[in-house]
Amino acid sequence: MTMNRRKGVAIAVVLVFCTAILGLLTVLMMNSRHQRGSHSMQYDQTRALMAARSGIQLAIYKYRVLPSEYYRIHQMAIDIKNGGGNPAEFNATREMWLRDFRSENPDTPAARIKAHLDAGVSILPGDPPAGSYEFAVEEFDLISRSLAGYTQDYLRVRAWGSFRGTRKTMEELIEVKIAE
């Protein structure tokens, strides 16, 4: 009887150990899978950020080559703020300005950049073949900040980029000098 009882205890102890080890293993595997997920997500986020950066470059460059055209939009925004102007006309004009920076719009510089970026994505089994990158500039405006004794104007550009559904937003503030 004593011998049988001891045998049972030994097996029970082993089974308890095994259960504990299996539990540990499960936690470890889940942790490992989660790590692997965040591993690729970080890469996707960086690529999304690079796409957003492309949109910002495009937007700043357009402002540099067509400043007068943008100042008209800015003036319309000021007029609306002061109670005048036509909001519908302002929105239509602003949308025309921003159209070039949205990769979803066909026949735009952004669409061509997206096509170039998509073509460079290495296609692995299970990857979507195209349409991986998207980006757009969502905010583009001139802002003024009062500093010690003078006012500084900035161009504020906010863009988002996405890669395989992982989206990142970035904002850039560039000092500009506006002639009176």
For other proteins, the binding residues (CB under 8 A) are 3, 6-7, 10-11, 13-15, 17-18, 21-22, 24-25, 28-29, 31-32, 35-36, 38-39, 42-43, 46-47, 50-51, 53-54, 57-58, 60-62, 64-66, 69, 72, 89, 92-93, 96-97, 99-100, 108-109, 112-113, 116-117, 120, 122
Q: Contact 139/160 with Cβ under 8 angstroms?
A: no
Shortest Å distance, C-beta 34 to other proteins: 10
Q: Residue 135 and residue 169: Cα distance in Å, rounded?
A: 9
DSSP strand E in the chain: where? Answer: 133-147, 150-163, 166-176
- Residue 22 or 178: the one with the smaller Cβ distance to other proteins is 22
- Residue 86 or 152: the one with the smaller Cβ distance to other proteins is 86
Q: Which of 104, 161, 171 is nearest to 139 (CA)?
A: 171
Q: Residue 5 and residue 171: Cα distance in Å, rounded?
A: 72
Shortest Å distance, C-beta 86 to other proteins: 11
- Residue 29 or 173: the one with the smaller Cβ distance to other proteins is 29
Q: Contact 59/31 with Cβ under 8 angstroms?
A: no
